C-alpha cells in the first residue's frame, strides 16, 4: 500500500490534509503534487494530520518545512497533528517541532486554529 493524502475544505475555509502511510522519500513522491495542488491558492493556516503516518523520514520532514515556509509566505502557518511515538520522536529529536504548532488530536488542532482563524482564505481567483 502506498502513501495517500486526502483533503477537506471546512465550512470556515480552513483546509485539513490527512496523510496515511509512510512519509519517506517514496511517500513524499506519491503525495507531493497532490499536496501542492490542494493548497495552491490557499493563504491561511493549514492543518496536516499525520496521525495516520507510520514513519516520517528526513524527506517527509523536508516537505513539511518547505510547505510550512510557503504558507508563512502567504500569511498562514502549518499546523501538525502527530500522535504516534515514531513521528513525535522525529519532531523531538530534530527540534523541528518548534517550527510548527503540534497537536496530538485533530480536534485540538481545529480548536486551536479556528479560535484564531480570520475566516475565508481561499479564492479561486488567487494565483501562486
Q: Which residues of 93-121 are buried (b: 16+ CB within 10 A; e: fewer)?
A: eeebeebbbbbeeeeebbeebeeebeeeb
Q: Would the pLDDT of 108 be above 50?
A: yes
Closest CA to 123 of 21, 47, 49, 41: 41
Which helix (H) or strand (E) segment holds residue 82: the answer is: none
Q: Would the pLDDT of 120 be above 70?
A: no
| pTM beyond cutoff 0.75 | yes
Cα separation of 17 and 13, whole Å? 13
pLDDT digits (tens, 9 = 90+) for 74-87: 888 899 999 999 99
Topology adopted by domain 4-114 = Transcription Regulator spoIIAA (3.30.750)
* Predicted local confidence at residue 119, as pLDDT: 58
**Cβ-contact 30, 2 below 8 angstroms:** yes
Q: Would the pLDDT of 70 be above 60?
A: yes
Q: Which of 14-23, 92-101, 116-125 has the highest mean pLDDT?
A: 14-23
* Predicted local confidence at residue 94, as pLDDT: 84
* Predicted local confidence at residue 128, as pLDDT: 40
Q: What is the mean pLDDT of the chain?
A: 86
Helix (H, G, I), strand (E, B) or coil at 21: strand
Amino acid at each position: 500500500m502506498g502513501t495517500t493524502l486526502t483533503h477537506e475544505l471546512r465550512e470556515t475555509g480552513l483546509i485539513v490534509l490527512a496523510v496515511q502511510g509512510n512519509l519517506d522519500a517514496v511517500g513524499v513522491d506519491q503525495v507531493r503534487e497532490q499536496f501542492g495542488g490542494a493548497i495552491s491558492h490557499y493563504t491561511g493556516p493549514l492543518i496536516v494530520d499525520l496521525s495516520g503516518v507510520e514513519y516520517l523520514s528526513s524527506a517527509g520532514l523536508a516537505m513539511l518545512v518547505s510547505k510550512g515556509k510557503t504558507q508563512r509566505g502567504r500569511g498562514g502557518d502549518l499546523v501538525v497533528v502527530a500522535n504516534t511515538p515514531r513521528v513525535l520522536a522525529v519532531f523531538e529529536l530534530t527540534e523541528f517541532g518548534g517550527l510548527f504548532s503540534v497537536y496530538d488530536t485533530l480536534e485540538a488542532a481545529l480548536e486551536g486554529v479556528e479560535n484564531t482563524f480570520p475566516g475565508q482564505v481561499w479564492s479561486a481567483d488567487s494565483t501562486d
